[in-house]
Amino acid sequence: MHHAATMTYLRAALTSLPMMLMTFIILSRGKLTHDPRHLFALVTTFYFLNTLFFLMVKTGRTDRWRAILFTVFAVAFVISFISHYVEARGSMALSESEILECRTPFCHIVIPMTIIPLALTRTIIFPGTMTGVYAAIASMFIIWIGASLSLGRGFCAWGCFLGGWDDGFSRIMKRPIIKSIAKKWHYLSFAVLLAVALTSAAMLSPTYCEWLCPYKAVTEYVQVTSLTRLVQMIIFMTLFAGLVVILPLLAKRRIQCGLFCPFGAFQSFTNKISPFEVRVDKNLCVKCRKCITVCPTFSMSEESLDKGKARMTCIKCGKCIDNCPKGALSFHIKGTSLGDDRTGQRLLFLYPAFLFLSTMAGGNIQSAIVRIIGLFTTGSLLTH
Ligand code: SF4
Ligand code: SF4
C-alpha cells in the first residue's frame, strides 16, 4: 500500500515536470529578477500553478483545482488591470478624448461584434490600438485564434480573464436555492449574440460594450458626462449584481457565461474545430442526472446522455467528469475510440489547457502580488 502511494506521487511528479519547466519559462520570461518583490511574486505564482497541476494529475480531478486558479486569475486581473490604468492615465474611467484617440483596451468579448463590420467595411469598429500596447487588438486576436483551434469553447473555462467571477460566486453556497432554470433560457446567449452582432453592424459600434457588459463594473468604464453615460453605468452595475453575483450564488451556475455572454455563445461554434470534447460512455452511465445538475453552463441534458456527448456550449471545465459517480464521462480526442487510454487523452487535453490558463493568469497573478505587497509597504497598489 505504502509502495503504491509512493508510486502514485512519483508518477504525478514526473508527469508534472514538463509543466514546471514551461510555466517557469513563461513566468520568468527567460530571465531572473533581483527585485525581492518580483522574485517573491514569481516563486509564489510558480508554486501555486504547479501545485494545482500536480493535484489535477494525482487526484484525477480537474474542475476542483481549475476553479481555484480561474477565480484567483479573475480577481488578480482586476487588481492589476485597474492599477495599470490608474497609473497610465490617473483614473479607472475612460475619457471621451481617450475613446476618440482609440486608447480603449481590447477584450475578446468584442470579437463577435467586429466580424460583420470587418467583412463589410474592412475596419475594426473598436476604439482600440492594433499593436504595441497593453491589450492591443492584434495580440488579442492571435491569442483567441490559437485558443479556439486547440480548446474551442474551452476558452471560457481555461482562458477568459473575467469568467472566474461568476465561476467563483457559483461555488459559495452549499446547495442551490434556484434549483432549475427553464430550458428556453438556455438559448438566451445566442439571442444576445444575434442582437449585438446585428446592432453593432448597423451602428458600426460595439453595442454590447456600450450598453450591456456587466464587467464594466470592475474594469474600465466611460466617464459619466451625460445622462446616457449615467444610464449605461446603472445598467452595468445592475447586470453585474444580477448576472455575475446574485444569480450564480442562488443557482450555483455560471449565469453570465452560460446564459448571457454573446462571446460564449459565439465561441460554442469553435467547439466544432477543437480536437477535444466531453463524451459519455453509455455503457457505464446509469442516468442519475448528476452531470446535468452540476454543469455550470447547462451543457448536459437528457439528449446529451442519449447522444453520448456534451452540448456544443460545453466549456470543458471537467465539473461533470469530477462528479460522475460511475466514471462514465471523460475528456476525449475526436476520431479515437471511446475508452481508449482515458488517462492519456485527459493529459493530452490538460497540457495545452492548463498551459494556456497559466499563460493568461501568470503575469496577472504576479502583478497583483507585487501590488498587494506595495499596498502593505507603501500604502498604495500603484508601483509609481
Ligand atoms: S453523472 Fe454519470 S452516471 Fe450520472 S447521468 Fe451523468 S454520465 Fe450518467
Ligand atoms: S458538460 Fe461538463 S465539461 Fe462541459 S461545461 Fe458542463 S460540466 Fe463542464
Task: Assess whether the C-beta atom of 280 lies below 6 angstroms from ligand 1.
Answer: yes
Residue 87: half-sphere exposure toward Cβ, Cα within 13 Å: 13
Q: Which ligand is nearest the CA of 349, by number?
A: 2
Among protein residues, the one whose CA lies closest to atom 4 of ligand 1: 288
Ligand 2 centre distance from Cα of residue 310 (Å): 7
Buried b (16+ CB within 10 A) or exposed e, 93-125: bbeeebeeeebbbbbbbbbbbbebbeeeeeebb
Q: Which atom of ligand 2 is nearest to the CA of 317?
A: 8
The residue-averaged pLDDT of 284-303 equals 97
* Residue ID of nearest Cα to ligand 2 atom 6: 295
Q: Does the beta carbon of 193 sit less than 6 angstroms from any atom of ligand 1?
A: no
Domains, the chain, ranges and CATH?
Answer: 2-271+342-378 (no CATH), 275-333 (3.30.70.20)
Supply the residue whose CA is at minimum distance from atom 8 of ligand 1.
285
Outline where the chain has alpha helix (H). Answer: 2-28, 36-59, 63-89, 96-100, 111-121, 137-151, 155-158, 164-169, 188-203, 207, 227-239, 247-251, 255, 262-268, 290-294, 302-307, 319-323, 342-378
Name the DSSP class of 347.
H
> Measured at the alpha carbon of residue 92, what is the angle toward residues 233 and 103, in degrees to the nearest 5?
95
Mean pLDDT, all residues of the chain? 90
CA of 329 to the centre of ligand 1 (A): 7
Cα three-residue angle 212-215-218, rounded to 5 degrees: 135
What is the arithmetic mean of pLDDT over 6-14?
92
State the angle between helix axes of 111-121 and 137-151 in degrees (0 to 180), rounded to the nearest 10: 110
Question: For position 133, what pLDDT does the model report?
Answer: 57
One-letter amino acid at 36 equals P
**If pLDDT is split at 50, 70 and 90, which confidence band does 160 have?**
very high
Ligand 2 — pocket residues by CB below 6 A? 278, 295, 297, 299-300, 310, 314-320
Check residue 382 and give its pLDDT: 72
99 falls in which pLDDT band (50, 70, 90)? low
25-34, 169-178, 218-227, 242-251: segment of lowest average pLDDT: 218-227
**pLDDT in the model for residue 22:** 96
First-last CA distance in the chain: 55
Of how many residues is the chain composed? Answer: 384
**Residue 363: pLDDT band with limits 50, 70, 90:** very high
Instruction: Mark 195-232 as b/e (b = at least 16 C-beta within 10 Å).
Output: ebbebbbeeeebbbbbbbbbbbbbbbbbbeeeeebeeb
Looking at all shown ligands, the one closest to residue 170's CA atom is 2
Substitution site in 301, 305, 311 for ligand 1 pocket (most atoms within 8 Å of beta carbon)? 305
Instruction: Give the closest ligand to the alpha carbon of residue 329.
Output: 1
Chain centroid to CA 241: 19
Is the pLDDT at 172 greater than 90? The verdict is yes
Greatest CA span in the chain, whole angstroms?
Answer: 70
Asked whether residue 140 carries a pLDDT value surpassing 90, the answer given is no
Does the pLDDT at position 137 exceed 90?
no
Q: Is 278 in the pocket of ligand 1 (CB under 6 A)?
A: no
Ranking 88-102, 103-117, 363-377 by mean pLDDT, the lowest is 88-102
Which residue is closest in CA terms to ligand 1's atom 1?
324
Q: Is the CB of 56 under 6 A from ligand 1?
A: no
HSE-up of residue 29 (Cα within 13 Å, Cβ side): 6
pLDDT one-digit tens code per residue, 190-243: 999 999 999 998 988 889 988 999 998 888 767 788 999 899 999 999 999 999
Q: Which has more pLDDT, 302 or 206?
A: 302
Minimal-distance CA residue to ligand 1 atom 2 = 324
Q: What pLDDT sits at residue 309?
A: 96
Question: How does pLDDT run across 304-339, given as a tens digit for each residue?
Answer: 999 999 999 999 999 999 999 999 999 999 999 887
**pLDDT value for 37:** 93
